[in-house]
Chains A and B, each alone.
Chain A
């Protein structure tokens, strides 16, 4: 039980734990995965906010999921560091501290890098899972994502989440 609680704590803490952002060889600052991913998801797919869908909390589910490998979870966190360091390199500021136009410039450059595009692709896929998965997972509020695309979903719907 104690071990389980510790694991739960680690998973819950993943989004809020510190991500150290480097500027070359020196430490530039500290941010959290939650703040960066929240802003990033809004930049990548602002439609979600318009639809009233909370996509950043869904990342918490991803990070807890028994069927998502540790490597994939680590990859998500590493990308937060890469994106922030890219922002620091361009503007001497972390991603979350940039103006909207500046963040777009960062994304344009970041997406030109193969590794950058690959990570953004991953974040978008999880964002879409939040928007278009069954509402039982906490995203897709009131089927807003489904309604937007005139999708009726399949019946029966799940009665419990699969984690």
Chain B
């Protein structure tokens, strides 16, 4: 069987290709390592989802090696299994988009021209993208309509140009505490932005609207309101999805990928033939697969004539913080509003998407505000120690838990700023450690640039100002170089020069005529927003290119 297109990975990078090309009549197969979960099987089981990691592989079977670099250039090696350091996200049909919160921000025009807008940063490999915001804008717009983005656009200094003035779906309902935030921002002269969400606020697109379950991020959506790649795209097309298919090798001949090889969980081997291959296995695993696919034609890894494969891995820099609202400082009505479950907070700040520190202009970022996750066990666990750090037990512990959880609530914030690409942040494969199939595991070399922390600090302090103005107590934050495993990009940079990039501007490998990479691997820099919207948009863009290519071939 020769498929028109074989897509490896069913998440946000692969699914737009599957959706567009199968709906255009092409024969598409999607290979997904994980299982199928859908609306009927998702539930809000904290023990399974959050404490036993049911949606990610056991680290005893599949792990990473992590080399954490210090600023001096020395590194410490961690074995993912022994350390419990887990870089898997959602191993399932639709990938981690099933589990996202769906905070959707577009990248800004300057994000596409980071180098020319802000200049060179010593010790960082910053480059401009080889496409502009204008080229991606129609696809951001398409995602709003096809995947479904709800919210309300308000004017602000950094609002990106839009082909449509507002989002196609109305805002989700918000908690009254959101109005406290808006008032505080007005007093501080900050611009409160309703956070666009990839969550339908009403029935649309053949999916049910949000039912305000109180458990959105980290959990699968039981109504289909969340715009996961599965609910929004794969379930709306005829692409054939093969689950339990771990692709471990690609083979090539004369500059073309000829076959994809996969294992089932029981070690049974299969081979897929296709005219075009699209790789979207999430940034780390995409580089790993290509590095593990060495052959005579590509002795340093598939598509790696440049030597750039795996290089310039980026995450989202920043961190998080919180403040607590306590009953003692609130009226009865405010107390009731504060404890109202289910409704969203949905506010962001982008006033400092760039900022002048008095010396020069820095690229800043985004701050999202949200209520602390409702996971009860994890909230109770946070109360186990007294203010001096001593373990509590007995009645003292019970009283503390009861008071904290029933007469106060925590508002959190997340800072997103650029993780500058550096030489020591990349993906390789290990010489010794192998997964359960005997395939070399990915090595994640981690390094952060000092500027990442400085910018994160600047933004976190602004978030603190808002929490103080709102009357929160116990305000705290942490900006660190620890990477969020669900916000990873790079490793297969796109660019115009085949000597310095892995992919061309259409995300086709420079070295191969039928290999495209459409997860976040193509991104030379990550912007200062979560990546999912950009991954979706770019994948829709590449789908147009592949459709044209396949149509041309059919005419020949």
Contacts and interface: CB of A to CB of B under 8 A. Distances in A.
Are A and B genuine complex partners? yes
Interface of A: 43-47, 65-69, 104, 107, 111, 117, 120-121, 124-125, 128-129, 131-134, 136-137, 145-146, 148-159, 161-162
Interface residues of B, number: 38
Contact of A154 (B58, B219, B380): B219
A156 B221 CA distance: 10
18 contacts: A44-B393, A44-B397, A66-B58, A107-B393, A128-B380, A129-B47, A133-B46, A133-B47, A136-B45, A148-B402, A151-B374, A154-B44, A154-B214, A154-B219, A154-B374, A162-B45, A162-B48, A162-B52
A44 B380 CA distance: 14
A46 B398 contact: yes
Contacts of A120: 391, 393
Contacts of A66: 58
Nearest to B341: A152
A133 B215 CA distance: 14
Most buried by B among A43, A133, A161: A133
Contacts of A152: 214, 341
Contact of A149 (B47, B219, B406): B406
B393 A129 contact: no
B235 interface: no
B52 A65 contact: yes
B54 interface: yes
Contacts of B52: 65, 67-68, 162
Contact of B377 (A132, A136, A148, A162): A132
A133 B219 contact: no
Contacts of B42: 156
B381 interface: yes
B381 A125 contact: yes
A68 B58 CA distance: 9
A159 B47 contact: no
A66 B395 CA distance: 33
A45 B398 contact: yes
Contacts of A67: 52-54, 58
A149 B377 CA distance: 11
A154 B377 contact: no
B391 A121 contact: yes
Given A47-B395, A132-B377, A148-B402, 13 more contacts: A45-B397, A45-B398, A65-B52, A67-B53, A68-B52, A111-B390, A128-B377, A131-B380, A133-B47, A150-B406, A156-B42, A156-B222, A162-B47
B380 A158 contact: no
A149 B46 contact: no
Interface string B33-61: 00000000011111110011110001010
Interface string B339-381: 1010000000000000000000000000000000010110011
A153 B341 CA distance: 10
A151 B376 contact: yes
A146 B376 contact: yes
B394 interface: yes
A67 B60 CA distance: 9
Contacts of A68: 52
B405 interface: yes
Contacts of B54: 67, 162
Contacts of B46: 132-134, 154
Contacts of A159: 43
Interface in B163-215: 211, 213-215
Given A45-B398, A133-B377, A158 B48 contact: yes
Interface string B225-248: 000000000000000000000000
Contacts of A117: 391
